[in-house]
């Protein structure tokens, strides 16, 4: 089966030298791609330029992305009925920079337009605007593929993360959501679109990869 896996972080530029990004090494997505290849699938790995994981990659095709818009463009360009599954594990930045203002000593604000922002100019106020939710667009581009999203949460508890994963399925029309992070606790939760009770707890990455690969045989 032809599969697409996204891994690593997007970034959003503040100016010509500074960026806003997520903490993500790209390791999990890269190793998932390796596992799918070992199962006989043809994998295209979309890997963030800021990913730091240096382990072996065995995907047949690897393409780099930078910003959220860059990843969105690549996913849309790869849309094809022959793609059987998309595993969207990339850590997409929730925000991009909007307007940026310089605050003078007397409190007056002046908008900064472009170029490198000098650290000697004083205090800055930055507007953060939401980035597009790529996951919500995948069903339009890949109408027949199995779509998998991710729900990583720092705050809350396991029940809350699973509820958020269920909501992701209904709002983004995905087939599966993987839940993890400090709020979930050790291991991974897998929530399928078969219903609110279609949960599975997977103790480690090996068990997760096995279960995800089994979905391609269903």
17-35 pLDDT tens trace: 888 988 899 999 999 999 9
pLDDT at 120: 67
Rounded to 5 degrees, φ, ψ at 115 are: 85, -175
Instruction: Read off the pLDDT band of 16 (50, 70, 90).
Output: confident
* DSSP letter assigned to residue 90: -
Instruction: Read off the pLDDT band of 212 (50, 70, 90).
Output: very high
* Tens digit of each residue's pLDDT (9 = 90 or more) over 56-108: 999 999 999 999 999 999 999 999 999 999 999 999 999 999 988 888 777 78
Assess whether pLDDT exceeds 70 at residue 121: no
The answer for residues whose C-beta is within 8 angstroms of residue 131's C-beta and 6 or more apart is 10, 12, 68, 92, 93, 94, 95, 96
Assess whether pLDDT exceeds 60 at residue 197: no
Instruction: Please give the mean pLDDT across all residues of the chain.
Output: 92
- pTM comes to 0.91
Where do we find the tokens 């070992």? 38
Question: Measured on CA atoms in the order 9, 189, 164, 79, is the torsion positive or negative?
Answer: positive
Assess whether pLDDT exceeds 80 at residue 138: yes
Assess whether pLDDT exceeds 50 at residue 9: yes
Assess whether pLDDT exceeds 50 at residue 196: no
């Amino acid at each position: 089966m032809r599969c697409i896996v996204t891994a690593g972080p997007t970034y959003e530029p503040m100016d010509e030298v500074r960026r806003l990004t997520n903490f993500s090494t790209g390791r999990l997505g890269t190793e998932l791609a390796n596992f799918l290849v070992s199962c006989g699938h043809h994998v295209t790995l979309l890997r963030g330029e800021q990913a730091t994981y240096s382990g072996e990659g065995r995907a047949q095709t690897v393409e780099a992305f930078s910003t959220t818009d860059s990843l969105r463009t690549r996913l849309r360009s790869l849309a094809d009925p022959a793609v059987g599954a998309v595993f969207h594990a990339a850590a997409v930045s929730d925000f991009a920079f909007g307007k940026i203002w310089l605050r003078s000593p007397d409190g007056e604000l002046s908008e900064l337009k472009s170029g490198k922002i000098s650290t000697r100019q004083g205090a800055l106020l930055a507007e953060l605007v939401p980035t597009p939710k790529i996951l919500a667009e995948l069903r339009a581009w890949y109408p027949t593929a199995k779509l998998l999203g991710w729900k990583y949460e720092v705050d809350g508890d396991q029940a809350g993360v699973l509820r958020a994963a269920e909501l992701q399925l209904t709002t983004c029309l995905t087939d599966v959501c993987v839940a993890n992070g400090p709020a979930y606790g050790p291991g991974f939760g897998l929530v399928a679109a078969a219903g609110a009770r279609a949960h599975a707890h997977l103790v480690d990455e090996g068990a997760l990869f096995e279960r995800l690969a089994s979905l391609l045989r269903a």
